[in-house]
């Protein structure tokens, strides 16, 4: 379940709505009479008191018996948990018994604590504040919990060799991507190379720091929430996961996916006694990432060179979702 970030805007103020949208909030909670006004100002999910008991529930925890009210919902609808005296103990009790818990908080400090309680954390936060600055600070904290830090490993190149002309995907994102970062792509659903973005100028090609020339159409690309897609399935509006060489990640949107026929190159490497591969375009502007973050052009790779990869435990994928099964991909 993807964690939720909701903001309560009572009394209603336009600047708070703007701050909530800019901070990445997924929904707002306003008085019934302000729903239509909010709809005209922004495209965002809107809740109000009339939705209570239908789309969500709000339960104030004043004593131990109140926790039972939350448990009885059995996670069927989101439940906003409001504590009479702000403490994390009720949330700890509820995490072990039910789901769809949205913890009410008043600032970014409380939000961080709620999201990391008992490692799993609340399933979302319900921010109650009249400060636009606090909304933005909480949004920044929330974003850290959406994009985990990955444990990237070093793989050694075994060989590269040209393969037949193929269809490749050039993924143009809607963000400027920093040096040392890119998409995680692989021929296997459990082994991904970090493919560098095109922020490096070349003799015959200007830098395109929003672009990752990611590989052949069949390859898997790693997405938020531990999902995958085939590269050819990406389209405008999809979210992909960008990782830097330290494993720090961020979600970005796809602007377009250009699929064109190009000469291709098979890159094979070894990590943890496992051979992994990826078919990439055979061009000097296509780069993998070295352990220090430096881009390494695929046309210059030689046996023994080191690049960064992300490996998952054994298992497979079914429509992009992780499943535990015996699977072999050659």
What is residue 143's predicted lDDT score, i.e. its pLDDT?
86
Residue 299 in 3-state DSSP? helix
Question: To the nearest whole percent, how much of the chain has pLDDT over 70?
Answer: 94
pTM: 0.74
Alpha-carbon span 96 to 90, nearest angstrom: 11
pLDDT at 148 over 80: no
Separation of alpha carbons 33 and 36, rounded Å: 7
Query: 1 falls in which pLDDT band (50, 70, 90)?
Result: low
Contact criterion met (CB below 8 Å) for 212 and 171: yes
The whole-number pLDDT of residue 317 equals: 46
Mean pLDDT of 163-192: 97
Q: Which helix (H) or strand (E) holds 160?
A: strand 153-173
Which carries the bigger pLDDT value, residue 192 or residue 315? Answer: 192
Question: Higher pLDDT residue, 319 or 210?
Answer: 210
pLDDT single digits (tens) 297-308: 999 999 999 999
In terms of pLDDT, which residue wins out, 316 or 57?
Answer: 57
Give every CB contact of residue 136 below 8 A, 6+ residues apart in sequence. 19, 22, 23
pLDDT of 320 over the 60 cut: no
Cα separation, 145 vs 148, whole angstroms: 6
Residues of CATH 3.20.20.70 domain(s) within the chain? 4-146
Q: Please, which pLDDT band fits residue 318 given cuts at 50, 70 and 90?
A: very low
Topology of the domain comprising 4-146: TIM Barrel (3.20.20)
Which range among 11-15, 144-148, 249-253 shows the weakest confidence by mean pLDDT?
144-148
Q: 6: closest CA among 144, 137, 127, 142?
A: 127
Most confident range, picked from 109-123, 192-206, 255-269, 316-330? 255-269
Query: First vs last Cα of the chain: how many Å apart?
Result: 32
pLDDT at 312: 87
């Amino acid at each position: 379940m993807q964690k939720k970030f909701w903001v309560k805007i009572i009394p209603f103020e336009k600047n708070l709505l703007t701050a909530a949208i800019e901070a990445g909030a997924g929904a707002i909670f306003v008085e019934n009479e302000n729903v239509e006004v909010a709809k005209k100002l922004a495209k965002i999910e809107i809740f109000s008191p009339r939705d209570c008991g239908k789309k969500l529930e709000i339960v104030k925890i004043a004593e131990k018996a109140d926790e039972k009210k939350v448990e009885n919902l059995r996670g069927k609808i989101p439940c906003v948990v409001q504590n009479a005296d702000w403490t994390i103990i009720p949330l700890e009790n509820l995490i072990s018994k039910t789901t769809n818990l949205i913890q009410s908080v008043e600032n970014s400090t409380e939000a961080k604590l709620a999201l990391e309680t008992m490692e799993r954390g609340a399933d979302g936060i319900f921010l109650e504040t009249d400060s636009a600055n606090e909304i933005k600070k909480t949004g920044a904290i929330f974003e850290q919990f959406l994009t985990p830090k990955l444990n990237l490993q070093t793989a050694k190149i075994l060989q590269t060799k040209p393969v037949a002309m193929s269809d490749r995907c050039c993924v143009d994102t809607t963000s400027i991507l920093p040096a040392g970062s890119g998409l995680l792509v692989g021929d296997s659903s459990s082994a991904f190379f970090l493919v560098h973005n095109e922020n490096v100028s070349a003799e015959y090609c200007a830098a395109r720091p929003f672009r990752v020339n990611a590989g052949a159409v069949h390859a898997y690309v790693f997405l938020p929430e531990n999902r995958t897609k085939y590269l050819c399935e990406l389209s405008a509006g999809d979210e992909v996961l960008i990782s830097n060489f330290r494993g720090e990640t961020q979600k970005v949107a796809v602007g377009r996916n250009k699929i064109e026929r190009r000469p291709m190159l098979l890159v094979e490497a070894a990590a943890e006694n496992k051979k992994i591969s990826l078919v990439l375009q055979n061009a000097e502007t296509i780069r993998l990432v070295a352990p220090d973050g430096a881009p390494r052009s695929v046309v210059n790779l030689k046996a023994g060179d080191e690049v960064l990869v992300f490996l998952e435990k054994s298992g497979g994928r079914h429509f992009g979702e992780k499943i535990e099964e015996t699977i072999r991909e050659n």
